Amino acid sequence: MRITTWNVNSIKQRVGHLLGFLDEAKPDVVCLQELKCQDASFPREEIEAAGYAVETLGQKAYNGVALLVRAPLQYTQLLRGLPGDAEDEQARYIEALVHGEGVAPVRVASIYLPNGNPAPGPKYSYKLAFMARLRSHARALMTTEEALVLAGDFNVIPEPEDAADPSVWTQDALFLPETRRAFRALLAEGFTDGLRACEPSAGLYTFWDYQAGCWPRNQGIRIDHLLLSPQAADRLVSASVQRHLRGLEKPSDHVPVTVELSDG
């Protein structure tokens, strides 16, 4: 089972890129973030025609997450929204159990974690609260001993080697010590960083800002992650970054990241 996460930074602008990627890579599950559209505006018909079932949690102009599941795989137990705050209206979390004949089930979540800037401030407080809720929900899911993959744009630079120039980010919410502590606390619930488990070397990035020639100079950061429960980590075959998609015309500033799990 190939599971991909990709912040498309507006599905309406990148639907052609997405369809090309689906045809090229044929991932089984795709976790999308930053749709920037409501559910009714999502290009469902085009993606269904490519062989994928679609579930979205959209929001006008901001945020938005989706799960795409390629036939013949199916999904059940859909959860739209992260538990823990009934007042939270931001579309940042969607989860389902993916399964099929001859394929052991995997619970997959698509997550768009808050950016948190400027920090300190209410946006940063919301980021940390969201991370605490995510950790609490993940801890509850871990008790089921299912294969679980938390995939998405976490807006967290975990370690200095995850940035081309860490000094640029020292005052940014993505790299503040409290952010990194919260991410490590989530990992400490028993998760494996899928990409790092396969590719420990530095210089591995998933995001390049549109400004100041960051892409040509490879001034990137790694903020898109797939976190695997022990049961999922036991099935980990490979992990990769689809870096070439950043070189497309009018690309997202993020690129897809993919893990492959054995059928179990």
The whole-angstrom separation of Cα 117 and Cα 157 is 14
Q: What is the pLDDT of residues 193-216, one digit of tens each?
A: 999 999 998 899 999 999 979 999
The whole-angstrom separation of Cα 178 and Cα 120 is 11
Over residues 60-64, mean pLDDT: 97
Q: What is the pLDDT of residues 209-255, one digit of tens each?
A: 999 799 999 999 999 999 999 999 999 999 999 999 999 999 999 99
Report yes or no: 106 and 232 within 8 Å, Cβ to Cβ.
Answer: yes
Ordered alpha helix ranges (H), 75-167: 122-142
The secondary structure of 16-85 as a DSSP string is: HHHHHHHHHH--SEEEEE---S-GGGS-HHHHHHTTEEEEEE--SSS--EEEEEETT-EEEEEEES-TT-
Please state, rounded to an integer, the average pLDDT across all residues of the chain: 98
Closest CA to 158 of 120, 113, 125: 113
Q: What is the pLDDT of residues 134-193, one digit of tens each?
A: 999 999 999 999 999 999 999 999 999 999 999 999 999 999 999 999 999 999 999 999
pLDDT at 264 over 90: no
Secondary structure (3-state) at 144? coil
Annotated binding residues for Mg(2+): 7, 34, 153, 155, 253-254
- pTM of the complete model: 0.98
Q: What is the pLDDT of residues 75-123, one digit of tens each?
A: 999 999 999 999 999 999 999 999 999 999 999 999 999 999 999 999 9
Q: Sheet holding 2-7: strands in order across?
A: 52-57, 65-70, 29-33, 2-7, 257-261, 236-241
The whole-angstrom separation of Cα 51 and Cα 68 is 9
Q: Which fold has domain 2-261?
A: Deoxyribonuclease I; Chain A (3.60.10)
Catalytic site positions: 112, 153, 254
Q: Are strands 103-112 and 148-153 parallel, antiparallel or unpaired?
A: parallel
Residue 186 is predicted with a pLDDT of 98
Over residues 25-42, mean pLDDT: 98
Annotated binding residues: 7, 34, 153, 155, 253-254
pLDDT at 19 over 90: yes
The whole-angstrom separation of Cα 155 and Cα 180 is 10
